[in-house]
Amino acid sequence: MINRQKQLEDLHTHLDELIAVLAQDQACQWHSHFAWSEQRVVRLLSQGFTQDDLNELSSSVNHVFGGSGSFNDYAPVVQRLDGTFSIIVGMDSFDELASKVYDSALALRVAGNVA
């Protein structure tokens, strides 16, 4: 049997880690989306949830991952004086954490009829 509580706790952990990394880039426009998503997870963990709540949360978290100008296009880099770019210090784990958030949110979703 799938443990939705554990899956939601995993998403909370991954969001918390991603938010900490995104905070290294003060110009990052995505920080607020993931912080809001984390607040929503905390609320669901404390107040309870239905599968519909989890489906909605999953969609809300993951909708920023697709399309032009989406979170997938975000690059945690800064421009150096010589015009080249380098990764922002502290953001080495960005790709891994973003994938964990996406996968954790997707795992909460159920498509079709829920018996």
What is the per-residue pLDDT for 67?
A: 83
Burial of 60 (0-12, 13-18, 19+ CB in 10 A): middle
Give the end-to-end CA distance of the chain in Å, rounded to a whole number: 13
* Least confident stretch, 2-11, 61-70, 94-103: 61-70
Entry pTM: 0.89
DSSP letters, 35-58, are HHHHHHHHHHHHH---HHHHHHHH
Q: Which two tokens stand for residue 19?
A: 């938010």
What is the per-residue pLDDT for 2?
A: 85
Amino acid identity at 112 = G
Cα–Cα distance, 107 to 53 (Å, whole number): 13
What is the per-residue pLDDT for 42?
A: 98
pLDDT digits (tens, 9 = 90+) for 14-72: 999 999 999 999 999 999 999 999 999 999 999 999 999 999 999 999 999 988 889 99
Higher pLDDT, 112 or 99: 99
pLDDT digits (tens, 9 = 90+) for 64-98: 998 888 999 999 999 899 999 999 999 999 999 99
